[in-house]
Structure 1
Amino acid sequence: MTAARHVFAVLGPQQGSGVLLTPHLVLTSAHVVGENEYAGVAAIGRAGPLALRVIRSDDELDFALLHSEEPLGPAPVLGALATDRPVPGCEILGFPRIQRYEGQRLDLDQFTGTALPMAGLVRRTLSVELDGPPVTADEHGPSPLAGLSGAPVYADDGLIGIVRAVPRGRGHRRLECVPLSAVLEHPDVRRLLPRDFAPPAPVTRTHPGDRPYEREYADALGVAYRRTKIFGLDELDRRASEWDLDTAYLSLEAAARNRGGAEPVPHRIDELLAARPRVLIRGDAGAGKTTLLWWLAAHAAAGTLGPHLAELNGLVPFVVPLRTLRARDTGFPGLAELPGVAGLVVDAAPGGWAGRVLAAGRGLLLVDGLDEVPQEEREAAHAWLSGLLARYPRTRCVATVRPLAVDPDWLGSENFEELTLLPMRDADIQAFVAAWHAAARLDDVDPAGLDVLERDLALQFSHNPVLADLARTPLLCAVICALHRLREGFLPDTRWALYQSALQLLLGDRDKRRRIDAPDGIRMSVEEHLQLLQRIAAWLVRGGQTEFTRQQALHQLARALPGMPRVAAQGTPTEILTHLLNRSGLLQERADDVFQFAHRTFQDFLAAKEFVEDDLVHEMLQHVRDQQWHDVLLLAAGHCSRRELPFLVEGVLEAGSAVRDRGRKTTLYVLAARCAQHAAWLSEPLHARVRKAVKSVLPPRNATQLPQLAALGPYLLPLLPSPEKTPKDALTMIVSLICEVGGSEAVPYARDFAGSDPTATLAVNWARFPTQLYAREVLSRADLANAVLLVSEPDQLPLLRTLPQARRLYFRGSFDANTLTDALTGRTADTLVIRENGVLGDLGFLRSCGRDLRTLRIDQCPHVQIAALTGLDSLDELHLVDQRLGAGDLEAVAKLSGLAKLYLVPEAADGGLDLTPLHAASRRLHVHAFGVPERRITGRAALGSRLTVHS
């Protein structure tokens, strides 16, 4: 992000300039705003000036702070001069008279100069000598720099002060400035700053090469990460096979790990990342972990992240793909190596650049694939990451890992929070199908045919829950889209068959359809391709890595080719490798002479084929306790013959029986059951052993085991205990497990538990089941009087009239006022939660609840008019969470005569919290304020013991 985004024209008695200090505070000169209570603020590209309140003005230092109710943008990096030597290369941005055009219209101007730390010590000022005089300088006329008062001064990209005057007698080349350090030391300013306000970074000298390099680095990130390959589209030309990440990216749902055991509510991943500076993301193969990091890197560098993640805009991403380190056999990167570890096409960074970025709190560390570090090296990975973050504690970090590769809270000591990517819901699958076909239309000669295929596939997903269950990750959904197109609507029905068909698509059908015959002078069958690729894949799995160099690949090919004389006769190992890279579609170059499979799942599938064909099932079983091998073992089950599969399943069962830890036992028993599901035939005694093993770990002991067991899908449901045989303290876990499985086959089991204690769990999981069937069979039988019913899909709303016993309703999503009026009219509701609604403004529909509404929570609804609550005197409890709270809002709240409890969580605390309007409220009202330091709360004294501050 450029510094210009932080700069404003300030319109008071005089016209001046200003700069963001925090997202809600603009810093300018006191003489610009004068005695006024408000000042106008305008910016390039922003419609019309805003009227901001002057919350602090100091004539002696000559600075003023203006407060905005809504955030104006991300705050700049702050700096403090820590040297008495001149600092060249400083930059000043503002709106001087010299830059006005067409009369009085303002435009931004830019100056460079040298800061002179010793030149204004007596007056506590900072002097900056401009590199050249203004073009129209006149020693006896008005200064051409008039209007620059309040303009920011930057050194090393950090804000170090603001201009306050242009002394005469120096040809308008000397600027007198207020040091930022003097402003921040002011006691009134300290009280106005948010609690997480970071102190300025020391500036000892400038690095003029940093800024241009940073622009080059951001461009290189865009080139590397703004486009991505989508499976099944590489049969088209290059423009269609690599599509913009904005088009390809689907914001998936995730759940935060809840240490308190409460039911986690899914959110979009970018919403969850916003408030978490350090995050470990767990997700299955193909779940979109790497795509997410690429999307963050590209958009953070370009400053184009949306409202939820706006504070990441302008940070410098350092992408660390750990698979690359494995391929290069190098250690974990040091500071100087961070910019280059991702293999970007950019020159070497200026010396010390990465350290300066991290020290300034401007780094975004994106660590991809902690599971791809061998088990014996993971503690070293932990030490590297924790050491780096301890040295630079303001660095934001997102790391990814497969679900079970590291223990829960593995990075908890480093203040990481854990998020788990959730399987795509039906609506996400339909959105992905639409996006995939939209990309395919870019170059297709028959767009009408694609329209028909898209409608057919969308219909198949709607009516075939087995197919939908196969498409719960972006990778598998893309595979299904591609195969559906090529097979004109016919699809395989198992995960293993999907991969097998995808390989046939890539290795056999593609060139035939494109009428390409031996373009490299090499002609190979599908099986010959597979034999070579699976050798490489098995070698990678044995070494615990996913990337390899050219020399490593040539070594593996040289070992395999003597057994393939027909292929060996067509070319050298180098030529064969070139053919595999060019024609297979399965290998791709990640960096210079560093390669990987297009997706790790294909690597695991081919490695499993190699192990089975080489009669090495026993070797795989030696690694059964290593989660990195579990996908290989699972896919091997599909390759196994009738003789081999029992050996594999029994080996996994025995490994599970040998461990005492219930969590690991659960993991292995589930793996055995999933392997058994691949069997076309397996003896009934062995099937019975598998079922008995799974039943032995039911009910699950903790939430970590829920997704593991739910991976068995409908297979698990008959193994669950009945409500009568379920211990009372395990009811919630069993019901949660039924909800995790979801779908129509789980409805009868949910119905059996509808009269049991964990009604709350059934009520918040409606979206996991067919809407009408679940309402009729489950919710209508449940005691919903005291459970919160989550309504998140439009097709659920009409069914609310069939559930009159639901008195506590939770609406999540952008439902408009008319829709909510229709849903609530004629029913009794004593509790309402309205969350994440981006369209709702008017709250008049609440009157549909009459005198029954006792509790109301408004959460993340930016356009809601709180003042419309007037008249709802039945309200006893009100929660306003992540809302912008103005004086008018709290005045309306104060008029609610029945209100006894008010919970306030302001969207931003930069301007503090003014509770003065609540002085007029009933004496029975008790206020709970969250996230605002007590010293920043105005009007707290009059509330006395009726105010509780939760810091």
Structure 2
Amino acid sequence: MAVEGLARSVVAVLGERQGTGVFIGFRHIVTCAHVLGQSLTPHIALPGERSPLRCQVVWRNDRLDAALLLVNQLNSAPALPGAVATDRPLPGCQILGFPKIQRYDRNRLELDQYTGTVLPAAGLVRRTLVMELDRPAVPEQEGPESPLAGLSGAPLFAGDKLIGIAKEVPRGRGHRRVECVPLTAIVAHEEFRRVVPVIASTTLRYVTDLHPGDSRYEEEYADALAAAYRRTKIFGLDELGKRASEWDLDTAYLSLEATSKGDSASGPSRVDDLLATRPRVLLRGDAGAGKTTLVWWLAAHAAAGTLGPELSELNGLVPFVVPMRTLRAEGGAFPSPAELPAAARLMVDAAPDGWAGRVLAAGRGLLLVDGLDEVPREDREAAHAWLASLLDRFPKTRCVATVRPLAVEPEWLTAQGFEELTLLPMRDADIRAFIRAWHGAARLDPDGDEDLEALEHDLIQQFRRNPSLSDLGRTPLLCAVICALHRLRQGFLPETRWALYESALQMLLGERDKRRRITSPDGITMSVEEHQQLLQRIAVWLVRGGQTEFTREQALHQLERGLAGMPRVRAQGDAEAILTHLLNRSGLLQPRTEDVFQFVHRTFQDFLAAKEFIEDDLMNELLRHTYEQQWHDVLLLAAGHCSRRDLRQLVDGLIAAGAATRDRSVRTSLYVLAALCAQHAAWLDGATHDRVRKAVRSVVPHRNPSQLQDLARLGAYLLPILPSPARLSGDSRTQVIELINEIGGAAAVPYAGAFTAPDDAFPLARGWHRYPARAYVDEVLTRIDLGEAPVFVNGHERLSLLALLPGAVHLDVAGDFSGADLDAALSGRRLASLVLSVNGLVKDLEFLRGCGGELRRLVLRRCGGIGDLSPLSELTELDSLDLQIMRVTRDDVAAISAIPKLRALSLLAPLVPADRLDLTPLRDLTELRVTVVGLSKRQVLGREALGDRLTLRA
């Protein structure tokens, strides 16, 4: 935060004396108590404002000499709270305030600024923060009042962190010293925490060192990130021109659903919610699933401090974006800490020496590693070693790394503290939201003559009526392709994935210029096929080299080879002119940096490379790469280009490669790939189809999560191949149910309904969210004994359908439901356990009064609106309470201590006032076991009283 930004948080306080104050909440101001005197309604004055504003004193402590004011008529940007975490002097600190000596135009207030060094050890005994000014502020004077009077309550900043407020300038030191109240003492005060728990629970940023140039550079760096990552291209809207076709990510970003490998019992959540509680994430996702868009969105908003409440802990962190494809294209090594700021090729000056290291050492770094699958397989262990070493060196660094689903083995980064998330295909509601946003952007075109509202409505209806179309549009990329083709063709759409890409290329390479009445752009005219032939040369070279980016020189070399066989095109210009034409007109190539280019999406690169392999009769070369995951999309897309003979050779080759490996996961991938190639073939002989089904059947059921995800790619095709319940037992039975759940949808309901054994209840109850809600109740859940099985509930329809499931006594309810919603659905139900997750609407626990008589276990996970836990004392049978990412005050702990039969309490990453958790009220509960995860020993009070009944985990 620059000085101008810091100054905006400073006000003059007018009590019995004139002093200074600083915003620490949007409407709360902290100042010195002695400034107020006996006044209960002081005023504040802001420079440039005509009239002072009246405030209310909501807390004061004369021993600390601190007070908190509330102003109702104004919202302001609060200062960033911090604390000194070193014994060494901190130079470069500053105080901003309104001393009486600083006046203009007779007696009007003016802000003044004082710089100096904070001496952490100087006032340690008195718990006072001391600052030594760089030079005397005023001459030493006799008299009862200091010439710096009015500075009382002024904020003391270390960099952009508020660490205290000035309270006194002691005599005898030439006005060189200012004694301050540490902010830590204010927010730790028990009454302060009770009055303003939200401010009290704000995480303090610790200051160990100051480098004055860092703050200004971080602003420039954040601006550069915003310029690079705040806008994204919208596929299919190129004709709108650059301004309209580049969409602000605030509008374009769609928070998709993801699942956590470590929390498979619960259903999917929005990826933003999952990232909030996981400092390190390996994010897996298919091509076009939105991985890079997520990285861009995080980088731009974290740097600007504009992430919402769920991800507020990331605000102010410094993102370092490492696009692996760029490193690969430029032949660079993995970046050292000092090289991280330059990895993304931002338009910003070089960082101050040591800046990145200081950011990482302070725990303020957000490392965003995009595209680990872009690293060649032989270099991936080197990539792993680089990332592991970097994070071992800077253990407080948060990190998100993205990768294709099968590019690295499961638990590849587990030792470094990563949790694995997998982006899920878009649900129907997500698709509808995307369609509305896409057409909203299309309406920016002032020259568009289509009825875009009618097109939008028609496409939404087509998705509703046509399940196969929905299956095609489950990723943001493919959904955008469908929107563009639907607009171009006035409602007519291709029916297969391969036809979708082929139509997109026709649109980009031919129809686009025709539609805009451009006949000979750049003086060059080429057919769609001529465009493709040249682009294929570049694409196949990239695939062979394991790259996605290329330089101008590399492209020219490939074009020279291609133009040798295209005399009509060559007559229109040399390779340089043709490359310029392709960059300007094809819509398929885009610049990455000044001299580095890439396809608009890797899928189009793989599609064109596959076409080149088939047309050049290079099937054997393709099949030599069957064991390399980054080639699998090329192999799959090649099926659409194959003749009958070629397709049979491709499918048989994949089956043979699968049979030849001992690795069951690899075998599963290859058999699934063979089935996907066969699934949409226009014609394939029956014997080959039989071989495919036999191969797939041999790897069912799955043995690990990666095989589960692989098999589920086959969708409804797989369902008739699955073994019947009569042929299954034990784990195999559960695994087949999990596979049916993963496929989901209306087609899978009868297959799930065939399982009715008692042990089937657990996996069937967990999978409800994957099926049409009412059909699954009627055909599955009402036919089994739910018994001890936890039923996962999301969405209002499923909550209302609980009335049809009286035997469901173990519920896992996720999403925003009000207290009234929950009371209506749960009242009178004899619940044994309840998990309430990710609910921002419910404000209290009153709804438990109607269902808590037999409740033994309660989990509250990220329900931030709940402010009072006292109703828990009425849960007479509750013996296990689990609070995850919840605010926990001393009053909350006292309420917990009143639960009569509580035996187990778990607190995961609790949000605690003043960075402290006081467990003292639990000391007399001799049979209670307490587990606290995410806090250090120094943050937990009352440890000694609990003894070995307390378990702490970092």
TM norm structure 1: 0.86
Q: How does 1:524-563 map to 2 (within 5 A)?
A: 524-563=526-565
Residue 249 of structure 1 corresponds to 253
Residue 605 of structure 1 corresponds to 607
User: Cα deviations across residues 415-448 of structure 1 (Å, max 9, x unaligned)?
Assistant: 2222221222222222222222222222366799
CA distance in 2, matches of 1:513, 1:776: 51
Q: Residues 209 and 74 of structure 1: is their aligned pair in 2 closer, same or farther, counting only changes over 3 Å?
A: closer
Q: Residues 940 and 416 of structure 1: is their aligned pair in 2 closer, same or farther, counting only changes over 3 Å?
A: closer
Q: Which deviates more, 98-107 or 764-773?
A: 98-107
Q: Residues 797 and 72 of structure 1: is their aligned pair in 2 closer, same or farther, counting only changes over 3 Å?
A: farther
Q: Residues 938 and 387 of structure 1: is their aligned pair in 2 closer, same or farther, counting only changes over 3 Å?
A: closer
Does the CA contact (< 8 Å) of 1:94 and 1:152 recur in 2? no
Residue 655 of structure 1 corresponds to 657
Q: Say which of 733, 736, 751 aligns to 1:734.
A: 736
Q: Residues 275 and 182 of structure 1: is their aligned pair in 2 closer, same or farther, counting only changes over 3 Å?
A: closer
CA displacement at 1:95 relative to structure 2: 6.6
Residue 787 of structure 2 corresponds to 785
User: Is 2:219 the partner of 1:215?
Assistant: yes
Q: Residues 117 and 616 of structure 1: is their aligned pair in 2 closer, same or farther, counting only changes over 3 Å?
A: same
Residue 691 of structure 1 corresponds to 693
Q: Residues 50 and 419 of structure 1: is their aligned pair in 2 closer, same or farther, counting only changes over 3 Å?
A: farther
CA distance in 2, matches of 1:825, 1:194: 33
User: Cα deviations across residues 877-935 of structure 1 (Å, max 9, x unaligned)?
Assistant: 444433323455455555555656554457313443345656899x8876665555667
Question: Structure 1 unaligned runs (5+)?
Answer: none
User: Cα deviations across residues 460-515 of structure 1 (Å, max 9, x unaligned)?
Assistant: 22232222121221111111122222222222111111111111111111111111
Does the CA contact (< 8 Å) of 1:807 and 1:829 recur in 2? yes
Does the CA contact (< 8 Å) of 2:43 and 2:54 recur in 1? no
Does the CA contact (< 8 Å) of 2:165 and 2:183 recur in 1? no
CA displacement at 1:320 relative to structure 2: 1.1
CA distance in 2, matches of 1:471, 1:375: 30
User: Is 2:201 the partner of 1:201?
Assistant: no
Q: Which deviates more, 572-581 or 773-782?
A: 773-782
Q: How does 1:547-586 map to 2 (within 5 A)?
A: 547-586=549-588
Q: Residues 918 and 114 of structure 1: is their aligned pair in 2 closer, same or farther, counting only changes over 3 Å?
A: closer
Q: Which deviates more, 557-566 or 441-450?
A: 441-450
Residue 643 of structure 1 aligns to a residue in which SS? helix
Residue 884 of structure 1 corresponds to 887
Question: Structure 2 unaligned runs (5+)?
Answer: 70-76, 191-199
Residue 399 of structure 1 aligns to a residue in which SS? strand
Q: Residues 842 and 262 of structure 1: is their aligned pair in 2 closer, same or farther, counting only changes over 3 Å?
A: closer
Residue 318 of structure 1 corresponds to 320
Residue 352 of structure 2 corresponds to 350
CA displacement at 1:685 relative to structure 2: 1.5
Does the CA contact (< 8 Å) of 1:723 and 1:756 recur in 2? no
CA displacement at 1:646 relative to structure 2: 0.9
CA displacement at 1:666 relative to structure 2: 1.1
CA displacement at 1:598 relative to structure 2: 0.4
Does the CA contact (< 8 Å) of 1:883 and 1:906 recur in 2? yes
Residue 91 of structure 1 corresponds to 94
Q: Which deviates more, 266-275 or 158-167?
A: 158-167
Q: Which deviates more, 651-660 or 932-941?
A: 932-941
Amino acid paired to 1:201:
T
Q: Residues 768 and 106 of structure 1: is their aligned pair in 2 closer, same or farther, counting only changes over 3 Å?
A: farther
CA distance in 2, matches of 1:592, 1:858: 51
CA distance in 2, matches of 1:143, 1:364: 45
Amino acid paired to 1:648:
L
Q: Say which of 621, 637, 660 aligns to 1:635.
A: 637
Residue 591 of structure 1 corresponds to 593
CA distance in 2, matches of 1:90, 1:101: 26
Residue 866 of structure 1 corresponds to 869
Residue 290 of structure 1 corresponds to 292
Residue 369 of structure 1 corresponds to 371
Q: Say which of 747, 767, 770 aligns to 2:769.
A: 767
CA displacement at 1:851 relative to structure 2: 3.7
Residue 425 of structure 1 corresponds to 427
Q: Residues 264 and 623 of structure 1: is their aligned pair in 2 closer, same or farther, counting only changes over 3 Å?
A: farther
CA displacement at 1:938 relative to structure 2: 5.2
Q: Residues 169 and 920 of structure 1: is their aligned pair in 2 closer, same or farther, counting only changes over 3 Å?
A: closer
Amino acid paired to 1:772:
R
CA displacement at 1:143 relative to structure 2: 3.3
Q: Residues 926 and 201 of structure 1: is their aligned pair in 2 closer, same or farther, counting only changes over 3 Å?
A: closer
User: Is 2:501 the partner of 1:494?
Assistant: no
CA displacement at 1:279 relative to structure 2: 1.9
Does the CA contact (< 8 Å) of 2:83 and 2:204 recur in 1? no
CA distance in 2, matches of 1:169, 1:154: 25
Residue 671 of structure 1 aligns to a residue in which SS? helix
Q: How does 1:2-401 map to 2 (within 5 A)?
A: 51=58, 76=82, 80=86, 82=88, 87=91, 89-93=92-96, 111-115=113-117, 127-130=131-134, 133=137, 141-144=145-148, 146-149=150-153, 151-154=155-158, 163=166, 165-168=168-171, 174-177=176-179, 200-202=207-209, 206=211, 208-258=212-262, 262-401=264-403
CA displacement at 1:597 relative to structure 2: 0.4
User: Is 2:813 the partner of 1:802?
Assistant: no
Q: Which deviates more, 886-895 or 130-139?
A: 130-139
Residue 476 of structure 1 corresponds to 478
Residue 512 of structure 2 aligns to a residue in which SS? helix
CA distance in 2, matches of 1:442, 1:503: 24
Residue 848 of structure 2 corresponds to 846
Does the CA contact (< 8 Å) of 2:95 and 2:154 recur in 1? no
| Superposition CA RMSD, Å | 4.4
CA displacement at 1:535 relative to structure 2: 0.8
CA distance in 2, matches of 1:705, 1:457: 34
Residue 601 of structure 1 aligns to a residue in which SS? helix
Q: Residues 395 and 911 of structure 1: is their aligned pair in 2 closer, same or farther, counting only changes over 3 Å?
A: closer
Amino acid paired to 2:492:
F
CA displacement at 1:388 relative to structure 2: 2.3
Does the CA contact (< 8 Å) of 2:321 and 2:370 recur in 1? yes
CA distance in 2, matches of 1:822, 1:103: 67
Does the CA contact (< 8 Å) of 1:710 and 1:737 recur in 2? yes
Does the CA contact (< 8 Å) of 1:287 and 1:475 recur in 2? yes
Q: Residues 692 and 442 of structure 1: is their aligned pair in 2 closer, same or farther, counting only changes over 3 Å?
A: same
Amino acid paired to 2:692:
V
CA distance in 2, matches of 1:695, 1:63: 73
Q: Residues 484 and 34 of structure 1: is their aligned pair in 2 closer, same or farther, counting only changes over 3 Å?
A: same
Does the CA contact (< 8 Å) of 2:57 and 2:68 recur in 1? no
Amino acid paired to 2:911:
A
User: Cα deviations across residues 338-373 of structure 1 (Å, max 9, x unaligned)?
Assistant: 222212122222333323322333222211111111
Q: Say which of 699, 702, 711 aligns to 1:700.
A: 702
Residue 619 of structure 1 aligns to a residue in which SS? helix
CA displacement at 1:775 relative to structure 2: 1.6
Q: Report percent identity of matched pairs.
A: 56
Residue 913 of structure 1 corresponds to 917
CA displacement at 1:403 relative to structure 2: 1.2
Q: Which deviates more, 11-20 or 740-749?
A: 11-20
Does the CA contact (< 8 Å) of 1:80 and 1:180 recur in 2? no
Q: Residues 901 and 392 of structure 1: is their aligned pair in 2 closer, same or farther, counting only changes over 3 Å?
A: closer
CA distance in 1, matches of 2:555, 2:766: 51
Amino acid paired to 1:297:
A
Does the CA contact (< 8 Å) of 1:8 and 1:41 recur in 2? no
Residue 498 of structure 1 aligns to a residue in which SS? helix
Q: Residues 33 and 732 of structure 1: is their aligned pair in 2 closer, same or farther, counting only changes over 3 Å?
A: farther
Does the CA contact (< 8 Å) of 1:549 and 1:595 recur in 2? yes
